[in-house]
Amino acid sequence: MKNEKLKMKNENEKIEVKSAIKVENLVKKFGKGDSEITVIDGASFSLDEGEFVALVAPSGAGKTTLLMMIGCVLEPTSGKIEIGGDVVYDGKWTVKDDRELRRKKLGFIFQSHYLIPFLNVEENVSLLPYQNKEPASVVKPRVKELLDYLGVGSKLHNMPSELSGGQNQRVAIARALANKPSIILADEPTAALDISRSVSVVKLLRKIAKEQKVAIVMVTHDDRLLPYCDKILAIKDKKIEIKDKVDEHII
Ligand SMILES: Nc1ncnc2c1ncn2[C@@H]1O[C@H](COP(=O)(O)OP(=O)(O)O)[C@@H](O)[C@H]1O
Ligand SMILES: [Mg+2]
């Protein structure tokens, strides 16, 4: 089986764990000549589906840059990226249609929810599936189910302005899940929330990773959220250092 690991659960049962992301020796430079800066210099790591990891580093260390390269939004300078076992970048983009790849395999969550203010909750979450030409008969029940799953099912027909910050962030998470991605990239998704709402969003992301078999990479500055993650990726000397998780007791 290509790019798939088999892990033994017990003697009789095998669980397939699929690779979600594999990054090899990724490099990103900005600028040219005297003004050239190297932000990422040989980052390598891999994640399986269902893993929920934090990406931590000081401001300006390249977290967003790395996330946007994995998200196929920003072109690396060199290296290799595999998404769901498929090579998408190997010195150059290898996919025919990178926009289609983003629409179908990736979900993004940001610090602000970026919901469209003149569309209601259902319409905001349905945008990408419709862009992917999925029929309403499939999209409508899935969006309702997702919003119920995220605890905002009763807000289906409300406008974003009628929801609280935490509720809007849940809608933004539903939107990120609506195209059934194999990876969610979350750039400081809790930065605008207080600690109790941050913990509830992070617990939700963890649950989503496990139940929906999605790999989630979350950039965060808040050490209090790290115990909820499976692993911590730190950018150190422009490379990735992987630390295994911390304190099991909090979860
Ligand atoms: N488009 C760009 N052009 C030039 N420099 C950039 C660009 N994007 C980011 N940088 C630089 O790359 C470094 C890392 O930025 P960023 O990835 O945003 O860091 P972080 O998200 O960790 O705060 C910073 O020094 C930033 O100024
Ligand atoms: Mg950033």
> What is the residue type of 246?
V
Q: Is residue 65 part of a domain?
A: yes
Ligand 1 nearest atom to the CA of residue 61, by list position: 22
Looking at the domain assignment, is residue 34 inside a domain? Answer: no
Amino acid 180: pLDDT: 87
pLDDT at 168: 94
The pTM score is: 0.88
In a domain, 36, yes or no: no
Does the Cβ of 118 fall within 6 Å of ligand 1? Answer: no
Vertex 171: Cα angle to 170 and 172 (nearest 5): 90
Beta carbon of 130 within 6 Å of any ligand 1 atom: no
How does 70-98 read in b/e, with b if 16+ C-beta sit within 10 Å? Answer: bbbeeebbebbbbbbeeebbeeebebeeb
88 occurs within a structural domain: no
Structure token digits, residue 39: 């932000």
Residue 142 within a domain? yes
Counting the structural domains of the chain, the total is 1
Angle CA 104–46–76, to nearest 5: 70
Question: Tokens standing for 192?
Answer: 């605008």
Distance CA 20, CA 17 (A): 9
How much is the pLDDT for 243?
A: 84
Q: Does residue 232 lie within any of the structural domains?
A: yes
Residue 58 alpha carbon, nearest atom of ligand 1: 22
Encoded tokens for 200 = 């509830």
242 inside domain: yes
| Cα 114 to middle of ligand 1, angstroms | 21
Q: Is 15 domain-assigned?
A: no
Closest CA to 234 of 246, 224, 219, 248: 219
Measured CA to CA, the distance from residue 228 to residue 65 in angstroms comes to: 24
CA 65/CA 63 separation, integer angstroms? 5
- Give the CATH number of the domain where residue 149 resides: 3.40.50.300
Q: Domain containing 205: what range? A: 48-75+93-250
Per-residue b/e over 183-196, b at no fewer than 16 CB within 10 Å? bbbbbbbbebbeee
| Ligand 2 ion: Cβ-proximal residues, 5 Å cutoff | 63-64
Q: Digits of tens for pLDDT over the chain (251 positions)?
A: 444 555 555 555 556 788 999 999 999 999 999 999 999 999 999 999 999 999 999 999 999 999 999 999 999 999 999 998 889 999 999 988 878 888 888 999 998 889 999 999 999 999 999 998 999 999 999 999 999 999 999 999 999 999 999 999 999 999 999 988 989 999 999 988 889 989 998 999 999 999 989 999 999 989 999 999 999 999 999 999 998 766 544 44
Residue nearest to atom 2 of ligand 1 (CA): 30
Residues ≥6 apart with Cβ < 8 Å to 37: 29, 30, 31
Give the CA-trace dihedral at 145, 151, 153, 156, to 10 degrees: -120
